[in-house]
Chains A and B, each alone.
Chain A
């Protein structure tokens, strides 16, 4: 059985959630068509939402005139997505643990923890305005 050709795409979208959702849907369709299971699809969708919402809300401060840069590579073994915003970045190590009892009931602040819990690799560039997400096909 021959494997499907890898897919590699780069897109630039305005910093708004509707545009982001369309990119997210493209990536999810691609991995579904390659037979990634429901657990993988859920995990990647969750992590993508976290990365994109962080880019829009924190990196770009919700400014629709700013952009979000998304690149992704999908093959039959894994998917790699990079999400970059136009903000100054941040230091992921300084984000407090959202699972300590005092922080659990807070409405936000669990994005990085969730990405790390559901994906195989989560890495940030030096300035902290780009995250790379890796999910292996299970």
Chain B
């Protein structure tokens, strides 16, 4: 399915967290630009320390992911390995999915097509 054509400028980065038992669902939406996503790593680390068993990053509304945001997600993945939890990605859009493939991070993360699928994974 083609992505809708949207300007990055009107596309503020938003992070919303929803706790579901031991799972934290983090909805990432808009454009994760270099300055907007600067605090993302700390937010994810706080959730991991809360603690949680699984960190689910819902990317279905994420239009852009730059190096700072990508670095934050990878850092969270590494932190999770020390905390016995795991990072799961949900529904990355085609350009973000391509970025994960180019960097071969699609081999590192669990990637699910839907939130239900990610929540159902044991």
Question: What residues of chain A have their CB less than 8 Å away from a CB belonging to chain B?
Answer: 17-18, 20-21, 24-25, 28-29, 32, 38-39, 41-42, 45-46, 49-50, 52-53, 98-99, 104-108, 110-111, 113-114, 117-118
Contacts and interface: CB of A to CB of B under 8 A. Distances in A.
Interface of B: prevailing SS: helix
Sorted nearest first, the 3 A-B pairs with minimum C-beta distance are: A49-B66, A17-B35, A107-B74
Of A18, A45, A49, chain B has the most CB atoms within 10 Å of the CB of A49
A41 B9 CA distance: 12
A21 B33 contact: yes
Of B7, B9, B34, B95, chain A has the most CB atoms within 10 Å of the CB of B34
A105 B78 CA distance: 8
B95 to A, nearest CB: 5
27 contacts: A17-B34, A18-B35, A20-B34, A24-B34, A28-B9, A38-B95, A41-B8, A42-B95, A45-B64, A46-B99, A49-B33, A49-B66, A49-B67, A49-B68, A53-B34, A53-B67, A104-B104, A104-B105, A104-B107, A105-B74, A107-B71, A107-B75, A110-B67, A110-B103, A111-B67, A114-B103, A117-B102
A122 to B, nearest CB: 14
Give the contact-size bracket for chain B: 20 to 34
B116 interface: no
Contacts of A106: 74
B50 interface: no
Contacts of B35: 17-18, 20-21
Contacts of B64: 42, 45-46
A38 B71 CA distance: 23
